[in-house]
Every structure is written in C-alpha cells, then in structure tokens.
C-alpha cells in the first residue's frame, strides 16, 4: 500500500503532463518509469488518476524532498524532448509554493533540465545535490 504523499506526487506528475494540453505518450512512459522506481504499478497509477478526489495532496517540507519532486516534474517535462511554456510555468509555480525565489527557480529548472537531458536516474540525484551544495 502506498502512502497518500506518494499518490499525490503521481497525481501532480499527471497534471503537469496535461498542462500543455498535449499529453504525449512519452510523458506517460516517464511517469510510469518513475512509478516503477518508487514501487508503483501501472494499475495503481491508473487508480490514482481515475479517482483523484480521494487523495489529499501534500507537498514536501524538506529541501531534498522538494528537489526530488521537482526533478520528477522535470523528467516528465523533458519526456517529449521539448519544453513548453505552460510546463515551465507550472514548474515555476511549484517552486514558488515551495518557497524558492524566482531567480533560484529559473536556475533550479535549468539544472534539473540538464540532469533530465542526461537521463540521470532519481537514485543518483542525492549525489548531484551533494555536488551542488559542496
């Protein structure tokens, strides 16, 4: 059984993928890949998007968890190998909710997009964060 926080995470990823009004199959594949990495099956993901009203979306509190969530968003944005304005706007809006300043948000987006372009696995993200903060 997955917790509500993780369900909310995947509902957010799905909504982000829809934000440009063009839900690309590659975006779905990236979301499902992220799900596999976190132990969520396709069936569970489908249940989440079919019945979203049962999910209380919670946002991460600590810095590392915020970055990991934003990285997953960036992976979905990059799934179709292009960045639409609506997708970037959604990313920046989440950064604002997480307390990041606009300049920081832009830099964070560019850094995470670079990692997504390199197909950096989520489990490697901790190492990349440590490199950045040292």
Instruction: For domain 4-133, give its CATH number from 1.20.1250, 1.10.3470, 1.10.3680, 2.60.40.
Output: 1.10.3680
Greater confidence (67 vs 9) lies with 67
Which of 36-45, 92-101, 125-134 shows the highest mean pLDDT? 92-101
User: Tens digit of pLDDT for each residue in 68-126?
Assistant: 889 999 999 999 898 988 889 989 998 998 999 999 999 999 999 999 999 998 888 88
Q: Please report, for the chain, the start and end positions of each structural domain, with discontinuous segments joined by +.
A: 4-133
* CA 20 to each of CA 14, 80, 99, 100, 108: distance values in angstroms, whole numbers, following the listed order: 11, 12, 24, 23, 20
Residue 1: pLDDT over 70? no
* CA 35 to each of CA 28, 32, 41, 48, 65: distance values in angstroms, whole numbers, following the listed order: 10, 5, 6, 12, 16
pLDDT band at 3 (very low <50, low <70, confident <90, very high): confident
Whole-number pLDDT of residue 130: 84
DSSP 75-120: HHHHTTT---HHHHHHHHHHHHHTT--HHHHHHHHHHHHHHHHTT-
**What is the model's pTM?**
0.83
Calculate mean pLDDT across residues 54-69. Answer: 82
Rounded Cα distance between 13 and 28, Å, is: 9
For 22, phi then psi, to 5°, come to -145, 85
Rounded Cα distance between 82 and 125, Å, is: 22
Percent of the chain surpassing pLDDT 90: 33
């Amino acid at each position: 059984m997955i917790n509500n926080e993780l369900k909310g995470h995947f509902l957010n990823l799905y909504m982000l993928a829809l934000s440009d009004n063009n839900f690309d199959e590659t975006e779905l594949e990236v979301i499902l890949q992220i799900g596999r990495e976190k132990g969520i099956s396709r069936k569970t993901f489908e249940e989440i998007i079919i019945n979203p009203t049962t999910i209380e979306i919670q946002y991460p509190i600590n810095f590392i968890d915020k970055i990991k969530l934003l990285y997953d968003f960036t992976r979905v944005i990059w799934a179709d190998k292009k960045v639409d304005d609506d997708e970037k706007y959604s990313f920046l809006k989440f950064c604002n909710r997480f307390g990041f300043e606009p300049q920081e948000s832009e830099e964070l987006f560019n850094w995470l997009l670079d990692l997504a372009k390199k197909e950096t696995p989520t489990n490697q993200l901790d190492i990349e964060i440590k490199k950045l903060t040292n």
